[in-house]
Amino acid sequence: MLKVVKKSQAIKTTDCAVTYRSGDDDVFGTCPKHCALNPNSTMSTSKIDWDYLDAVLDAKVQGGRSWTYSHFKFEDISLKQNRNFHFNFLYRIRDSKQHTTINRSTDTLLDALAVHNKGYPTVVTLPDKNVSKNFVIDSVLFVRCPSEYNKNVGCNTCDLCSRKNRNFVIVFYGHGSKKKLVGDEEQGGCYGTYGRVRLQWEHTKKNVNQPLSDKNKLKQFVQGLPYGTNIRHHIVGDVGKENKLAVQNKINNK
């Protein structure tokens, strides 16, 4: 399920167009099982929704910026696994400046270095300990999200996450009520687990009977946005294809 907002009122994303994406039965339904921040992997997925991803990549307004984040490991998909990915999606995700920037979300510095060195726009979420503004590891610059320490900077005025082919990794530090789980062995730490973001996410799930698919709803939404609009896709949620078997098992066990 997809929820769209033409002009966000949230502090960080003020004046950006934003979306939220949920599974039909569980808010974490479109998120990858392996995401370290995901506290509910049972109801999550291991499959990418390629049709929806296709729409996200094209969901960019003329004169504006478009970006999102994903824990799906695009860099590990081989030609043997998915020929279509390598002849179509790889270029659009990693290189094309005409398409939405999909930042590869990572959870450790080592993972961030590995993904960055494969040419993907990379971000990493770290525990809120030993917070540093900028630092260098193995000749790679790590840059902290400016909005975390400067209240005058928001997504609408900062273009770091929308840049492709960049020579630095963007760092976010754990935030939200479950931030202590970021970097911990226990799976969890997603800022959407509780609070206002979770309320919006739950509202997204309630749109289960929406007449349009997520792909078509996104296309229609973007077509109606004015020139120069900046779009932050997926305040919460990801590009996964919901695990219908897990949903059915949950229903059967009720």
Secondary structure in 3-state letters for the chain: CEEEECCCCCCCCCCCEEEEECCCCCHHHHCECCCCCCCCHHHCECCECHHHHHHHHHCCCCCCCEEEEECCCHHHCCCCCCHHHHHHHHHHHHCCCCCCEEEEEECCHHHHHHHHCCCCCEEEEECCCCCCCEEEECCEEEEECHHHCCCCCCCCCCCHHHCCCCCEEEEEECCCCCHHHCCCCCCCCCCCCCHHHHHHHHHHHCCCCCCCCHHHHHHHHHHCCCCCCCEECCCCCCCECCCHHHHHHHHHCC
Instruction: Tell me if 141 is assigned to some domain.
Output: no
Instruction: Tell me if 144 is assigned to some domain.
Output: no
How many angstroms separate the CA atoms of 135 and 142, rounded? 5
Instruction: Tell me if 40 is assigned to some domain.
Output: yes
- Amino acid identity of residue 249, one-letter, is N
pLDDT tens, residue by residue, 54-78: 999 999 999 999 999 999 999 999 8
Instruction: Tell me if 14 is assigned to some domain.
Output: yes
Instruction: Tell me if 42 is assigned to some domain.
Output: yes
Where residue 180 falls among pLDDT bands split at 50, 70, 90? Answer: low
Q: What is the pTM of this model?
A: 0.91
Instruction: Tell me if 202 is assigned to some domain.
Output: yes
Domain that holds residue 76: 2-104+181-252
Q: What are the CA-CA distances from residue 229 to residues 19, 53, 124, 162, 213 (Å)? A: 13, 20, 26, 13, 23
Instruction: Tell me if 164 is assigned to some domain.
Output: no
Q: Domains in the chain: how many in total?
A: 1
Instruction: Tell me if 86 is assigned to some domain.
Output: yes
pLDDT tens, residue by residue, 121-178: 999 999 877 788 899 999 999 999 999 999 999 999 999 999 999 999 999 997 654 4
